[in-house]
Amino acid sequence: MRKFFRYIWRINAVLILLAAGAVTLGVGGLLVQEFGFKAARSREAEAGIAIAGANVKSDLILSRASVVPGTQVMRAELQRSVGEVKFSSGSGYGSEVRNLLFIEPGQKTAHWLLPDNDHIVSDSSDITEQKDPNKGRILATAVLVKSVTSSPESTMGRLLLFDPPGTKIVEVADHVRTIQVASMEGDELNILYERDKHLFLIVFNPHSLAKLREQEMEVPQLK
Residue type, 217: M
Listed in order, strand segments (DSSP E) in 88-168 are 90-103, 111-112, 119-128, 138-147, 157-162
Let me know: does 159 contact 172? Beta carbons within 8 Å.
yes
In terms of Cα–Cα distance, which of 141, 197, 196, 201 is closest to 174? 196
Ordered alpha helix ranges (H), 115-196: none
Please, what is the end-to-end C-alpha distance for the chain in angstroms? 125
Query: Of all residues in the chain, what percent are helix, strand and coil, respectively (each to 5)?
Result: 20, 45, 35
In terms of Cα–Cα distance, which of 125, 124, 153, 128 is closest to 139? 128
197-221 b/e (C-beta count within 10 Å ≥ 16 → b): eeebebebebeebeeeeeeeeeeee
Ramachandran angles phi, psi of 130, nearest 5°: -100, -10
Residue type, 15: L
| DSSP 8-state code for residue 65 | P
In terms of Cα–Cα distance, which of 164, 213, 163 is closest to 188? 213
What are the tens digits of pLDDT across the range 146-156? Answer: 998 866 556 78
From first to last of its 223 residues, the chain has per-residue pLDDT tens of: 555 445 555 665 555 666 666 656 665 565 556 555 444 444 444 556 667 665 566 678 898 999 999 999 999 999 988 765 444 544 445 789 999 999 999 999 999 999 999 999 989 999 998 776 566 789 999 999 999 886 655 678 999 999 999 999 999 999 999 999 999 988 999 999 999 999 999 999 999 999 999 999 999 989 8
Sequence-separated (6 or more) residues with CB below 8 Å from residue 160: 113, 142, 143, 144, 145, 169, 170, 171, 172
Let me know: does 202 contact 188? Beta carbons within 8 Å.
no
In terms of Cα–Cα distance, which of 16, 36, 101 is closest to 64? 101
What are the tens digits of pLDDT across the range 82-106? Answer: 765 444 544 445 789 999 999 999 9
What pLDDT score was predicted for residue 91? 43
- Measured between alpha carbons, how far is 149 from 147 in angstroms, rounded to an integer? 5
